[in-house]
């Protein structure tokens, strides 16, 4: 049994590191081939590096590693050893892949209309004549593709057990001393980085498209990490819990919890059924509730992550 558990753990680790490598490579592809050529900065140290790369030409990877390494050291010193070995490996892999791509590919756009013009020699985003042709940016399509690639990349990195590190460490440090919510601080830090494109290049489209990249990226990360399936949690307060229980167990083949409580107004004892279902089963249960108890009170909530028996397995250390 012990050997079997070791084999399973080894298999999970191999898969995790495989996802880490693929995610890091995709991140570099998204940044060098799609984000940087269009002068976008969708947050993070690589977003800021894209701005620096265009204003003061130097490799994106050099700028990023010069920020990432001190941030990891400072973050470990102030916050403690929160950043595991996979985060350090991810930081190193993204640096290596980015360096290789920008050395081999340069900073040319993949999605364009006309001849490719190197952004390393011309940072303007207006159409540039080149050998009789023109580079016409395709902002919207490029933004969508960049968001998709970034989302898959970071989602795979998260699935591997690594964290994004980078500018998020700044947010964590500020959170420790200001007590402002971490989510708010992440938005503030990434927002400042995104707005740097407006200051550097004077084009209002750039921060707008960067925000769209962030939005698409966030949605795709959720899909990669949590999967396509959508779950709903239902809280059903009813005076007739037995038929509800029977329908859940016998028709939906699911489990749940029945909780006893009392109403605030009259203090009468009430039963509350707590159950988490996928969207299809939730619709089935909701459709029969009126027939079971027309006076039932139902609260349906979106559940972003469900762990335990019947759903995703609890993560192991």
Is residue 131's pLDDT more than 60?
Answer: no
> What CATH number does residue 259 fall under?
3.30.70.120
Report d(CA 158, CA 139) in Å as an integer.
Answer: 28
- 49 and 190 fall within a common domain: yes
What number is the average pLDDT over the span 54-79?
89
Mean confidence (pLDDT) of the chain: 81
For the four alpha carbons of 32, 36, 38 and 44, in that order, the dihedral sign comes to: positive
* Residues forming a β-bridge with 113: 136
Report d(CA 119, CA 94) in Å as an integer.
Answer: 21
Domain containing 143 equals 2-226
Residue of 95, 23, 100 lying closest to 62 (CA atoms) = 95
What number is the average pLDDT over the span 177-184?
73
What number is the average pLDDT over the span 215-240?
82
Band the pLDDT of 134: cuts 50, 70, 90: low
Residue 255's pLDDT is: 86
Is residue 117's pLDDT more than 90?
Answer: no
Last residue of a domain, one of 205, 226, 247: 226
What number is the average pLDDT over the span 233-256?
87
With a pLDDT cut of 90, the percent of the chain lying above it is 25
| Pair 292, 240: CB distance under 8 Å | yes
Listed range (29-43, 56-70, 127-141, 239-253) with the worst mean pLDDT: 127-141
In 10 A of CB 139, how many CB atoms? 16
Report d(CA 94, CA 21) in Å as an integer.
Answer: 9
pTM: 0.74
Residue 122's pLDDT is: 41
What number is the average pLDDT over the span 39-43?
89
Task: Give the CA distances from residue 133 to residues 129, 161, 203, in Å, rounded to whole numbers and listed in that order.
Answer: 6, 46, 24
What number is the average pLDDT over the span 107-134?
52
Q: Is residue 311 part of a domain?
A: no
- 179 and 51 fall within a common domain: yes
Band the pLDDT of 188: cuts 50, 70, 90: confident
- 24 and 116 fall within a common domain: yes
- 140 and 212 fall within a common domain: yes
In 10 A of CB 204, how many CB atoms? 10
**Looking at per-residue confidence, does 315 or 62 come out higher?**
62
What number is the average pLDDT over the span 12-29?
92
The first and second tokens of residue 65, run together, are 């590693």
With a pLDDT cut of 70, the percent of the chain lying above it is 85
Is residue 119's pLDDT more than 60?
Answer: no
Residue 127's pLDDT is: 39
Band the pLDDT of 126: cuts 50, 70, 90: very low
Report d(CA 101, CA 26) in Å as an integer.
Answer: 11
Listed range (80-94, 109-123, 198-212) with the worst mean pLDDT: 109-123
Band the pLDDT of 66: cuts 50, 70, 90: very high
Residue 308's pLDDT is: 67
Is residue 287's pLDDT more than 70?
Answer: yes
- 195 and 120 fall within a common domain: yes
- 186 and 272 fall within a common domain: no
| Pair 125, 59: CB distance under 8 Å | no
Q: Is residue 314 part of a domain?
A: no
- 254 and 193 fall within a common domain: no
**Looking at per-residue confidence, does 156 or 161 come out higher?**
156
In 10 A of CB 235, how many CB atoms? 14
Band the pLDDT of 133: cuts 50, 70, 90: very low
**Length of the chain counted residue by residue:** 317
- 176 and 268 fall within a common domain: no
Residue 123's pLDDT is: 41
- 202 and 263 fall within a common domain: no
């Amino acid at each position: 049994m012990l050997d079997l558990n070791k084999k399973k753990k080894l298999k999970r680790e191999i898969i995790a590191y495989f996802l880490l490598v693929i995610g890091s490579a995709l991140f570099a592809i998204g940044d060098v081939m799609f984000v940087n050529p269009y002068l976008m900065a969708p947050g993070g140290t690589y977003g800021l590096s894209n701005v620096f790369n265009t204003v003061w030409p130097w490799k994106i990877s050099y700028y990023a590693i010069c920020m990432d390494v001190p941030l990891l050291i400072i973050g470990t010193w102030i916050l403690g050893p929160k950043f595991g070995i996979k985060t350090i490996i991810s930081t190193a892999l993204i640096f290596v892949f980015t360096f290789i791509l920008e050395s081999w590919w340069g900073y040319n756009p993949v999605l364009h209309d006309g001849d490719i013009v190197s952004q390393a020699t011309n940072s303007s985003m207006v159409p540039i004549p080149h050998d009789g042709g023109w580079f016409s940016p395709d902002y919207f399509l490029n933004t969508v593709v960049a968001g998709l690639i970034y989302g898959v990349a970071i989602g795979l990195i998260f699935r591997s057990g690594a964290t994004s590190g980078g500018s998020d460490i700044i947010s964590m440090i500020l959170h420790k001393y200001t007590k402002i919510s971490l989510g708010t601080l992440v938005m503030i830090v990434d927002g400042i980085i995104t707005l740097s494109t407006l200051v550097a290049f004077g084009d209002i489209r750039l921060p707008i498209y960067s925000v769209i990249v962030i939005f698409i990226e966030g949605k795709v990360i959720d899909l990669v990490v949590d999967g396509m399936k959508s779950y709903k949690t239902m809280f059903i307060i009813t005076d007739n819990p037995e038929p509800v229980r029977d329908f859940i167990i016998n028709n939906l083949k699911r489990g749940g919890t029945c909780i006893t409580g009392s109403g605030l107004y009259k203090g009468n004892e009430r039963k509350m059924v707590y159950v988490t279902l996928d969207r299809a089963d939730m619709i089935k249960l909701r459709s029969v509730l009126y027939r079971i108890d027309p006076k039932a009170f139902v609260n349906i909530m979106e559940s972003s992550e469900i762990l335990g028996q019947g759903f995703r397995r609890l993560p192991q250390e």
